[in-house]
Structure 1
Amino acid sequence: MRLWFLLLTSALSLQAAGPNVLFIMTDDFRPELASYGSPAITPNLDRLAKKSVQFQRAYCQQAVCNPSRSSLLTGRRPDTLRLWNNGTHFRELNPEVTTLPLWFKDHGYITRCVGKIFHNWHTTEKGDRRSWSADEFLHYANHGADTPQVTGELPPNQITEPSLRNYGDVPLCECRDVPDEAYYDGRVAAEAVKMLAEVKDQPFFLAVGFWKPHAPFNAPKKYWDLYDRAKLPPLNSNRPEGAPELAFHQSTEILGPVAEQKQPTAAQAAEMRHGYFANISYLDAQLGKVLDALEQSGVAQDTIITFIGDHGYHLGEHTLWGKTSNFDYDARVPFMIARADGKNAGTRTESLAELVDLFPTLVEMCGLPRPEGLEGDSLVKVLEDTSASVKPAAFTQHPRPAYFDREPDKKPKAMGYSVRTGHVRYTEWRDWNTGEVIARELYDHANDPTELKNRAGENTLKEVESHAASLLAQKFPSKKS
């Protein structure tokens, strides 16, 4: 028995000899604003990008928090997990599934969690304690409870327009002259710096989950002050010509319950967009504190850094606010990997990628065995050669109603399955019970990158539509007999 224990300990030690992982995650981050030269002021993202391979066409598997995070952290698609809503914890239906941090923990790494990594609210299990070597920090709360915590008198809210509504316990837009640590992400960054100092002398997988730029739009005042609202990109709110009604949703996350909704005025829309940019710059400053701590730790040269978002976001485009669609605004995500050896640092790749690919990629990069059941593809080949490709398409899906678990029958009426190839986005809306295709969308990204005309059924695109439909049918066979 003692010999077996020594052999096991030795094996785990050898398995943990690979690089460390600093796993950084954000919430509701539009990918074009994470790119160098974007209108967002992000000096720390820019310096991380200069160290990374940046995947310009990376996609989530479902554009809402819990399904996306559960999918990428287990390496399984939402249909495999049977998870398409925010209220069901992935372990309710998949109790023994392994997760990315758990796999690293089982192979000799110290795994720690600061901030929002797993879904953070109204699930029966809070986070996933078994994935971590110690308790999670500020991982389970409500975005609407992120009220400013300060010593002494609270500075006034300097928002000029009446807020469209409250977002939980705070106004949807809030601008107060408070320190970074007044809100969640400032405290997440401070704790991550402390935790890095604790784990740096052993193989570690440190996950840092920032809550921003998710609403409410309440970054400290100094981040609002970085922007001239009149110079931010203009809003084109046009709906795509010919798109089916199923493609849209009611924007309840931002606009509130349908019966109480008021459409934002132009000034309110501009204020929310300004606040979103302020949130991004606030997040960026917190990221900088973590990157500084890594550089000062002495182990930066032995550490892989990943930076991802769980999905994209609409800021009034297509008349939508928030996420929960299959449009590229929601489906595409920021995705960077900085190798420990610095190879191909500062390069961009057009190779298609999915969040579900991150699990197998990190496993291979760290020399760990690949667990069974992963549905993504390792991107190591692309990290070695950014002109390479490992997959012909990326897949995203979303149910209708968008938040079906709030409906009386607690099940979808339809599921939208969407495939992004190198040239087009093709979506089929299928009846949930029969699998019958009840609507289609096709967007020609070569000529229409913001998806403003549905060209499904056009003869000129018949061949590419047929190819995309074939890819979709292979990945998601229809229930229809």
Structure 2
Amino acid sequence: MIHNIKKRALVVMTYLGCTLGMMAQEKPNVVVFLVDDLRTELGCYGNPIVKSPNIDALAKEGVLFQKAYAQQALCAPSRMSLLSGLRPETFGIYSLFTSFRSVHKEVVTLPQFFKANGYQTVSVGKVYHHGFDDKDSWSMLFPKESNSWVKPENLALIERLKKSGKGSNGPAYECEEVEDEAYKDGRAVKNAIETLQKLKNDKFMMVVGLTKPHLPFNVPKKYWDLYNKEDFKVPSKEEPKDMYKLALTNWGELRGYYGIPQEGVLDDEMTKTLIHGYHASVSYTDAQVGKVMKALEQLDLRKNTIVVFMSDHGWKLGEYGAWCKHSNFELDVNVPLIISRETGYKNRVTNAKSNALVENLDLFPTLADACGLKDTPKLEGKSLLLLLNSPSLKWSQGAYSVYPRGKNVMGFTCTDGTWRYTEWWDNKAQKTIDSELYTCKENYMVRVENLAKNAKNAKEVKRMKLLLEKQYPLQLRSSYPQNDKGNSGKNSSE
């Protein structure tokens, strides 16, 4: 009883601290770095190889969430979810082929809400998957850049492929002695910095969409040279033992690039080369983050700017023999999330790590709350403002994601931070047809096993099943997946 009273008192005091801190200053600006395909492979997340000094420095300026999760491991629905504060199953879009506004003209999105509250809203780079989706919600909208290769021999190869009707994708990686702006993220950041200079006297909310480390792993050579290919280990190429037959895809995302075999697993040499390219791409992204952060300081904006660093979903780097997202596995839905309050905020917590289970759709309510904006639309995420002041607060019991396989089968998944449990629902048969249980921290050097098939794990399966049904009760599953056009569960280059 006394413990509960103290706990409630702590929550109230934390909330009052947040509120009083907000009252003491004007509404802050917001900058969100939204990165594509980034796993929690960063120095600040404990990776000893990756070089990410600027992101690591940002983590020291705020709260790093170790257990943050995307709501679907695919670009379009994931981004729609975090920008609307709604789950993919609520707006019924699970593919890359349906734009948000073509279906939902009534939903109030994050940029739309901030714009209505007097903010200049800016989209730079890849924010929505469909570049001009929700265009009226942005005060300024820079289209995502399109080119990916700069090497003359690769450009010539692409032209030959186009003429022969064999596609337009070049190799899966390249490095060249060029400036950062030769590739699209460098140009996006240049636009972001120039825009900050123009808006320094305005109230703004800017989302900077960085495409790397998405394929192809094309970056200036100086980032490639930060790593030695032989330092990377090759994970097990076997699919999980006893997994559901459709849990993985055929990773056509990588197979669409020139020189990649259309069948079978990659050999160790190519595996190491691609892992090398991914890490080089992460360091390239890190450098772009550093440029924007430097500009905020030089323009005297950091003192009143909240900065968020996040990813739309994770990615598999050869684990299970796969090279894509497109699944419910931990590697695909666990994402980095760092939130740093404005440096002028008097109750600012720094260099903190939180084990709270949080979700990407929490972004909208968190930013609205942190900026003191009232009357938000109905949202399914919840504000993380209390955690920014008290990162160790007890929080959610689970985090949830989905992934469809065709029009009749949906994978519903949840984690409690230790275990990941997935059920596959057949909408036609109106029943669960398979289930999977894995630990969140797997040894990917050996074959992973679906532990739900082992009777000794029956207790954990029962507990996790109940946790899953809190978000996805059986009586609601029959409405999923909805008939989203193009929702075939296929891979794509995005």
Q: Aligned letter for 1:112?
A: V
Q: 1:259 to 1:87 in 2, by over 3 A?
A: farther
Classify the secondary structure of the residue corresponding to 1:119.
coil
Cα distance in 1 for partners of 2:234, 2:106 equals: 48
For 1:316-356, what per-residue CA distance to the aligned partner results, in whole angstroms no more than 9, with x for missing partners? 10111110011010010110000112722111111101001
Q: Aligned letter for 1:297?
A: L
Shift of 1:195: 0.7
Counterpart check, 1:100 vs 2:110: yes
Shift of 1:83: 0.5
Number of the residue aligned with 1:456: 452
Counterpart check, 1:472 vs 2:465: no
Cα distance in 1 for partners of 2:237, 2:388 equals: 37
Number of the residue aligned with 2:90: 80
Residue from 411, 419, 422 that aligns with 1:424: 419
Return the TM-score normalized by structure 1: 0.85
Alignment of 1:76-475 (within 5 A): 76-120=86-130, 126-134=132-140, 136-139=141-144, 142=146, 145-148=147-150, 168-256=168-256, 260-261=262-263, 263-340=265-342, 341=345, 343-400=348-405, 404=406, 412-445=407-440, 452-475=448-471
Shift of 1:460: 3.4
Kept in 2: contact 1:147–1:169 (CA 8 A): no
Kept in 2: contact 1:51–1:338 (CA 8 A): yes
Where in structure 1 are there 5+ consecutive unaligned residues? 1-13, 149-153, 158-165, 405-411
Identity %: 39
Cα distance in 2 for partners of 1:98, 1:223 equals: 40
Shift of 1:260: 4.0
Kept in 2: contact 1:223–1:278 (CA 8 A): yes
Where in structure 2 are there 5+ consecutive unaligned residues? 1-22, 155-165, 480-494
Shift of 1:155: 6.4
Cα distance in 1 for partners of 2:212, 2:167 equals: 14
Number of the residue aligned with 1:4: none
Shift of 1:455: 1.3
Counterpart check, 1:63 vs 2:77: no
Q: 1:109 to 1:241 in 2, by over 3 A?
A: same
Q: 1:262 to 1:453 in 2, by over 3 A?
A: closer
Classify the secondary structure of the residue corresponding to 1:58.
strand
For 1:288-315, what per-residue CA distance to the aligned partner results, in whole angstroms no more than 9, with x for missing partners? 1101000111121111000000000001
Cα distance in 1 for partners of 2:77, 2:43 equals: 22
Return the TM-score normalized by structure 2: 0.83
Identify which range, 198-207 or 35-44, moves more after superposition.
35-44
Number of the residue aligned with 2:33: 24
Q: Aligned letter for 1:68?
A: S
Shift of 1:120: 3.7
Cα distance in 2 for partners of 1:283, 1:173 equals: 15
Classify the secondary structure of the residue corresponding to 1:389.
coil
Classify the secondary structure of the residue corresponding to 2:31.
strand
Number of the residue aligned with 1:41: 51
Shift of 1:480: 5.5
Cα distance in 2 for partners of 1:86, 1:97 equals: 19
Kept in 2: contact 1:363–1:370 (CA 8 A): no
Shift of 1:173: 1.4
Identify which range, 285-294 or 90-99, moves more after superposition.
90-99
Kept in 2: contact 1:17–1:203 (CA 8 A): no
Q: 1:229 to 1:19 in 2, by over 3 A?
A: same
Shift of 1:413: 3.2
Cα distance in 2 for partners of 1:176, 1:449 equals: 32
Shift of 1:261: 3.7
Work out the number of aligned pairs and report it.
437
